[in-house]
């Protein structure tokens, strides 16, 4: 058997390393058995396919026979795709942070033969530079300490594990009501950059959970300034270089404070979360920019990210031909060649194109300086963009990570269903339905769901994040279409979540299932990362599902989660936007119940209202509603032609028979 054992893996990231001279092992008991047999420590390297600095370290160190030789002599080396094994990544990233280090990828951790961490870092250069130790020197020193002073290793290991175990047990309860949510939103608003949008400083990440928090607060309080902060941030992103102005879709983040220079990787989850905000912003403001960016992003998704089974790929790499962003940037001469001099000069006025470029002698297309673009100019620019996109298609493309992740797909499916219903885009809903069916067909075994699928292999069992996000997707699809199967699946996913992931001490959910492979700590997280925290997604889904199926026990489960994690959220609102948003859903959820022949028209009117704190429930007759439904008694007064009822905080409106009256009635019911 070859010394590098990654060749039979399916992860594109692991396969990127299958030809390294490093004797890589995939994560598993065999690697740790080898560490115990040889007495060597474990070097754990965690990254992902679209990670630029992962590629840099791979080129500098893992492809270098001399560095690889040191790694092979002194360590058992394990490669992990953080997207395939977020449970492993979460544990060892938390361990690094317990050492007082800032997290990031590539993650480089050193473990003993029982997978217990004792030291680590992120990117190491091959040679010492700018105060960073060289990777080879680090390897030699860690190996020496491990071999000659085991008591130091044991002290570090035990201290880290103690802190990890404590961090995995949220403590205490704090009451968070609407007043506390309002104060938190005002505090977050004060951290936003008034000139450029987003949180102040650089780098700038989308921070969609915090933007949603501001939007919800604007809906809740009527303070339009809070929505304006969110809309302004979206505007700057939509016009900045973080957005792909030719192909659609947003990059992961901007390295500067102006949204100009992106880290060029495109992630499925970022675009899902931004799609929802773009839909809300367009529906509220009518700004055509937000609708255009939403449509272009869905076009990109359908053109470049679809698998044969209808589900979505995970990400696009930042690099091509060994250079970050090479696929996306342009020189003035290249644009002249494609468009001709006259059109190229016209295009340059709007997209910041100059002979000297705006980044490394090339141009990142952006419209941050263009101001409002007239309709006539947009019409003239559109075919130019199409020509440039067609020319760009002939370049060497960035790598596509085509594995299917259930949780990321769940976020995108939910976004397509919600945004499609809100903006009357039925093709988006159809795309969501196809993807939902694809994930279920590819990744289900009985009532269980897998986490990652590629090349006919599914990683089982799935994670709490998969079950929560796919439940959210099923609920959104049911609302958008009225179909029963997605709702039934949502019920099943949340049932499995309770059965296999519950932490009885906190009331929240462990990330890993009770029958998954054992790890040194069973991870339980409360904070948002790049995606909303899975406990928050689950709580929000449970609240909505309770209203849809009339089961108060589901709402009680949501309350248990929210109470158990309230102290963490109250202590650090910046890291708990999704949890605070779930509390807002719990406190403000409105049920829009429709019935009769006119019911579907009324339901569609309900779907045109903000989805953040409402559910649409269709019922042919009163008997179709659960026994405990607030609207059931009211439906006896519905006219034969049908009506809608809006139920908020234990009370329901009189029958509403005109679709255009739904919005004002909801506003009045919440007053």
Structure tokens at 569: 């959220």
* Cβ neighbours of 147 (radius 10 Å): 13
Q: What are the residues whose beta carbons fall under 8 Å from the beta carbon of 496, sequence distance 6 or more?
A: 447, 448, 449, 467
Q: Is the peptide bond before 111 cis (omega within 30 degrees of 0)?
A: no
Mean pLDDT in residue range 156-160: 86
Mean pLDDT in residue range 614-637: 76
For residue 633, the model assigns a pLDDT of 63
The bridge status of strand 590-595 relative to strand 457-459 is: unpaired
Q: What are the residues whose beta carbons fall under 8 Å from the beta carbon of 259, sequence distance 6 or more?
A: 196, 197, 198, 204, 236, 237, 239, 240, 241, 242, 366, 368
pLDDT in tens, 59-68: 999 999 999 9
For residue 640, the model assigns a pLDDT of 78
CA distance 619 to 632: 10
Mean pLDDT in residue range 651-662: 91
Mean pLDDT in residue range 294-299: 98
Give the confidence band of 420 by pLDDT, cuts at 50, 70, 90: very high
Give the confidence band of 7 by pLDDT, cuts at 50, 70, 90: very high
Judge residue 591's burial from the number of C-beta atoms within 10 Å of its C-beta, 0-12 exposed, 13-18 middle, 19 or more buried: buried
For residue 2, the model assigns a pLDDT of 66
* Cβ neighbours of 404 (radius 10 Å): 25
Give the confidence band of 131 by pLDDT, cuts at 50, 70, 90: low
For residue 102, the model assigns a pLDDT of 80
The CA radius of gyration of the chain, in Å to the nearest whole number, is 26
For residue 156, the model assigns a pLDDT of 85
Point out which residues pair with 79 in neighbouring strands.
26, 45
Decide: helix, strand or coil at residue 267.
strand
- On whether the CB atoms of residues 586 and 558 are closer than 8 A, the answer is yes
Q: What are the residues whose beta carbons fall under 8 Å from the beta carbon of 316, sequence distance 6 or more?
A: 50, 265, 266, 304, 305, 398, 399, 400, 401
CA distance 67 to 60: 9
CA distance 168 to 189: 29
pLDDT in tens, 423-480: 999 999 999 999 999 999 999 999 999 999 999 999 999 999 999 999 999 999 999 9
The percent of residues above 70 in pLDDT, for the chain, comes to: 97
- On whether the CB atoms of residues 14 and 20 are closer than 8 A, the answer is no
For residue 437, the model assigns a pLDDT of 98
CA distance 68 to 28: 21
Give the confidence band of 573 by pLDDT, cuts at 50, 70, 90: very high
For residue 654, the model assigns a pLDDT of 87
Determine which of 179-193, 481-495, 610-624 has the lowest per-residue pLDDT on average. Answer: 610-624
For residue 126, the model assigns a pLDDT of 87
- On whether the CB atoms of residues 594 and 602 are closer than 8 A, the answer is yes
Determine which of 142-146, 204-208, 277-281, 622-626 has the lowest per-residue pLDDT on average. Answer: 622-626
Give the confidence band of 101 by pLDDT, cuts at 50, 70, 90: confident
Q: Is 124 or 620 the better-scoring residue by pLDDT? A: 124
Mean pLDDT in residue range 240-269: 97
| Buried/exposed 512-530: b ≥16 CB within 10 Å, e otherwise | bbeebeebbbbbbbbbbbe
Mean pLDDT in residue range 169-184: 86
For residue 596, the model assigns a pLDDT of 85
Give the confidence band of 520 by pLDDT, cuts at 50, 70, 90: very high
Determine which of 161-175, 390-404, 645-659 has the lowest per-residue pLDDT on average. Answer: 161-175
Mean pLDDT, the chain, whole residue set: 94
For residue 174, the model assigns a pLDDT of 84
Mean pLDDT in residue range 616-636: 74
Q: Is the pLDDT of residue 129 over 80?
A: no
**What predicted TM-score, i.e. pTM, was given to this entire model?**
0.94
The bridge status of strand 452-454 relative to strand 448-449 is: unpaired
Mean pLDDT in residue range 109-121: 93
- On whether the CB atoms of residues 198 and 204 are closer than 8 A, the answer is yes
Judge residue 389's burial from the number of C-beta atoms within 10 Å of its C-beta, 0-12 exposed, 13-18 middle, 19 or more buried: middle
pLDDT in tens, 357-373: 999 999 999 999 988 89
Q: Is the pLDDT of residue 559 over 80?
A: yes
CA distance 498 to 124: 41
CA separation, residue 220 to residues 20, 191, 229, 611, 646 (Å): 55, 20, 15, 13, 17
Q: Is the pLDDT of residue 637 over 80?
A: no
Q: What are the residues whose beta carbons fall under 8 Å from the beta carbon of 180, sequence distance 6 or more?
A: 570
Judge residue 12's burial from the number of C-beta atoms within 10 Å of its C-beta, 0-12 exposed, 13-18 middle, 19 or more buried: buried
Q: Long-range contacts of range 563-566, CB-CB < 8 Å, 24 or more positions apart? A: 563/173, 563/507, 564/170, 564/173, 564/506, 564/507, 564/508, 565/170, 565/506, 565/508, 565/526, 565/535, 566/173, 566/174, 566/175, 566/176
CA separation, residue 568 to residues 297, 509, 559, 575, 599 (Å): 34, 15, 15, 9, 42
For residue 388, the model assigns a pLDDT of 98
Which H/E stretch holds residue 496?
helix 484-501
Give the confidence band of 71 by pLDDT, cuts at 50, 70, 90: very high
Mean pLDDT in residue range 195-216: 97
Structure tokens at 359: 């980044």
Q: Is the pLDDT of residue 69 over 90?
A: yes
pLDDT in tens, 475-500: 999 999 999 999 999 999 999 999 99
Q: What are the residues whose beta carbons fall under 8 Å from the beta carbon of 413, sequence distance 6 or more?
A: 432, 435, 436, 439, 470, 473, 476, 477
Q: Is the peptide bond before 203 cis (omega within 30 degrees of 0)?
A: yes
Mean pLDDT in residue range 289-317: 97
Residue 416 — φ and ψ, nearest 5°?
Answer: -65, -40
For residue 168, the model assigns a pLDDT of 65
Decide: helix, strand or coil at residue 644.
strand
Structure tokens at 595: 């019935």
Q: Is the pLDDT of residue 130 over 70?
A: no
For residue 502, the model assigns a pLDDT of 98
């Amino acid at each position: 058997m070859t010394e590098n054992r990654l060749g039979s893996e399916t992860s594109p990231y692991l396969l990127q390393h299958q030809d390294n001279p490093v004797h890589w092992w995939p994560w598993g008991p065999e690697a740790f058995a080898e560490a115990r047999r040889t007495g060597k420590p474990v070097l754990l390297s965690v990254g992902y396919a679209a990670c630029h600095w992962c590629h840099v370290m791979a080129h500098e160190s893992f492809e270098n026979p001399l560095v690889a030789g040191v790694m092979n002599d002194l360590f058992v080396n394990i490669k992990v795709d953080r997207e395939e094994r977020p449970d492993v990544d979460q544990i060892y990233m938390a361990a690094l942070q317990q050492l007082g280090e800032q997290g990031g990828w590539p993650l480089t951790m050193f473990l003993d033969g029982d997978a217990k961490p004792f030291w680590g870092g992120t990117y190491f250069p091959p040679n010492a530079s700018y105060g960073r130790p060289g990777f080879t020197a680090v390897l030699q020193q860690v190996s020496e300490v491990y071999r000659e002073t085991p008591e130091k290793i044991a002290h570090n290991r035990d201290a880290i594990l103690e802190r990890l175990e404590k961090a995995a047990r949220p403590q205490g309860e704090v009451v968070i009501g609407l007043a506390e949510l309002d104060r938190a939103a005002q505090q977050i608003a004060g951290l936003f950059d008034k000139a450029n949008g987003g949180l102040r400083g650089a780098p700038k990440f989308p921070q969609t959970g915090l933007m949603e928090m501001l939007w919800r607060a604007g809906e809740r309080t009527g303070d339009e300034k809070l929505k304006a902060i969110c809309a302004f941030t979206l505007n700057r992103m939509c016009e900045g270089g973080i957005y792909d102005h030719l192909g659609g879709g947003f990059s992961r983040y901007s390295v500067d404070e102006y949204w100009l220079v992106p880290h060029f990787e495109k992630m499925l989850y970022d675009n899902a979360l931004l799609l929802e905000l773009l839909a809300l912003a367009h529906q509220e403001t009518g700004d055509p920019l937000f609708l255009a960016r939403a449509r272009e992003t869905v076009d990109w998704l359908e053109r470049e990210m679809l698998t044969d089974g209808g589900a979505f790929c995970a990400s696009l790499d930042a690099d091509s031909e060994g250079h970050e962003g090479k696929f996306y940037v342009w020189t003035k001469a290249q644009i002249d060649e494609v468009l001709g001099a006259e059109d190229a000069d016209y295009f340059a006025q709007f997209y910041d194109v100059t002979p000297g470029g705006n980044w490394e002698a090339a141009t990142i297309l952006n419209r941050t300086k263009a101001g409002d673009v007239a309709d006539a100019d947009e019409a003239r620019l559109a075919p130019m963009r199409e020509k440039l996109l067609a020319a760009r298609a002939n370049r060497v493309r960035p790598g596509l990570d085509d594995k299917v992740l259930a949780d990321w797909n769940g976020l995108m499916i939910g976004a397509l269903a919600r945004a499609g219903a809100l903006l009357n885009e039925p093709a988006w809903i159809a795309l969501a339905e196809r993807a939902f069916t694809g994930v279920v067909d590819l990744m289900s075994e009985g009532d269980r769901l897998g986490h990652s699928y590629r090349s006919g292999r599914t990683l089982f069992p799935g994670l709490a994040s998969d079950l929560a996000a796919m439940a959210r997707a099923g609920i959104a699809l049911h609302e958008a279409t009225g179909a029963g199967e997605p709702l039934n699946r949502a019920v099943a996913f949340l049932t499995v979540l309770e059965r296999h992931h519950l932490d009885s001490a906190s009331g929240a959910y462990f990330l890993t299932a009770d029958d998954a492979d054992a790890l040194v700590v069973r991870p339980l997280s409360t904070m948002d990362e790049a995606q909303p925290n899975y406990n928050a997604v689950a709580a929000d889904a449970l609240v909505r599902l309770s209203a849809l199926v009339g089961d108060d026990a589901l709402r009680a489960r949501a309350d248990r989660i929210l109470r158990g994690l309230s102290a963490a959220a109250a202590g650090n609102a910046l890291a708990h936007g999704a949890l605070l948003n779930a509390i807002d859903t719990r406190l403000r959820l409105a049920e829009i119940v429709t019935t009769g022949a006119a019911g579907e028209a009324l339901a569609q009117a309900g779907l045109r209202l903000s989805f953040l704190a409402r559910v649409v429930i269709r019922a042919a007759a009163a008997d179709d509603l659960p026994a405990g439904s607030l609207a059931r008694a009211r439906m006896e007064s519905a006219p034969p032609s049908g009506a809608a009822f809006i139920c908020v905080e234990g009370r329901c409106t009189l029958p509403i028979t005109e679709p255009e009256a739904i919005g004002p009635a909801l506003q009045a019911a919440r007053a």
